[in-house]
Structure 1
């Protein structure tokens, strides 16, 4: 191969490289000009990794549905993670440096979403166990000062504004895990911590019965939480304004 031919090949290669670099920079510039919308919906996409699209939950039973929950409840939980009353590394990391205003905005966003619910989970416990769970939900156990679930979470178990959540439409594993966390003290809320007080009095079998019965219930057509102050709570609860 002659020297002149070699130089031509080198020159051609250099021109090709320069053209590729030029196109690459042009493409990078075009990408840089594409702006991500600064909306709460865009920021909330990160939540979908665990809580599902629009906060509707996924098949992973330990992550709850957050869509449609009362904004006050969601805000309280975000603050609890930030302040260490609840412990889950991913949540703590995400909210550690977020302001109250930002957390309220996030809570309002998910409170206003209402995607469809999944079908209820089949209950695979004996009928007598499920009846015990149902009895605790509707009547509690007065001999141990355990109030009925409906006394705080509403007759339809759809929650109470502004900060008591619904109990229907949640996975059994999540319900069991939260009862267990309150019972062990790893989940806390503002004092007086009413759910910790109740959970510590329930046996493991009773917790399993309540969780299984709740998870097996179909959600009502109207999942709206009961109006604020429409229910007088049977025991003091620091997370619920009176």
Structure 2
């Protein structure tokens, strides 16, 4: 059997699903088709302990940065169908609250709209802002909780931690319920990179900023 990158990365599919496409249930995110820059940043975060997952850290500990870029590029280049959205488990009022936060934010609490960073279609932006659709609600809940408690971190300034810590439990339930129930648009690819600054400065493009690349390796 040939020793190819695709064959080596079959280990990733044990958790993330066939070809990294995952499902609409559980705690494992889809990695197929996400911006390669985002995937690379997350691999570094796992390896260097900013994301708390002993299994991922042990898998990546001996891998060099060039190999991590190869992994990110492979999964980022896959163009595969998404699973159907989850059936909503929230009330209409809760879903509307989630929609408002995602689409409009809450300026009174310094909460930008999710769409302002992750794209109007919520499919992410090149080169390193992830999409928010096609992900299980349990995974979304887990990640917002990790930002709030410090189990998940990024290079400073950590804009997602800033946002997550301003969300109430009701906000988190509403946003995750609404996102998980949304169908994918006809074009599921990440949008092109913005040419103007985003609402918050971020250290590794997690929710962008015109100066993000200057912050990564300070």
Q: TM-score, normalised by structure 2?
A: 0.92
Given that residues 158 and 202 in structure 2 are in contact (C-alpha distance below 8 angstroms), is that contact kept between their aligned partners in structure 1?
Answer: yes
Distance 1:207 1:215 in 2: 12
In structure 2, the partner of 1:216 is: 181
1:185-224 maps to which residues of 2 (within 5 A)?
Answer: 185-224=150-189
Deviation at residue 124 of structure 1 after TM alignment: 1.3
Q: TM-score, normalised by structure 1?
A: 0.83
Q: Matched residues in 1 for 2:175 and 2:68: separation?
A: 31
Partner of 2:215: none
2:98 pairs, out of 133, 138, 141, with 133
Structure 1 CA distance, aligned partners of 2:25 and 2:107?
Answer: 35
What are the superposed Cα offsets for residues 34-67 of structure 1, whole Å, 9 maximum, x if unpaired? xx42211011100010000100114651000000
Indicate the residue corresponding to 1:18 in structure 2: none
- The match for 1:90 among 27, 32, 55 is 55
CA drift of 1:226 comes to 1.3
Larger Rg: 1
**Alignment correspondent of 1:40:** 5
Unpaired segments of 5 or more residues in structure 2? Answer: 211-218
The answer on whether the counterparts of 1:50 and 1:58 sit within 8 Å (CA) in structure 2 is: no
Separation of aligned partners in 1, 2:112 and 2:101? 8
- How many Å apart are 1:230 and its aligned residue? 4.1
- How far residue 183 of structure 1 moved from its aligned partner, in angstroms, is 0.4
Task: Within 5 Å, give how 1:92-171 maps onto structure 2.
Answer: 92-171=57-136
* Alignment length (residue pairs): 207
Counting only pairs closer than 5 Å after superposition, residues 172-191 of structure 1 correspond to structure 2 as: 172-191=137-156
What is the deviation of 1:231? 5.3
RMSD: 1.1
- Is residue 85–residue 134 contact of structure 2 (8 Å, CA) maintained in 1? yes
How far off its partner does 1:229 sit? 2.5
Greater helix fraction, Structure 1 or Structure 2: 1
Bigger shift: residues 223-232 or 190-199: 223-232
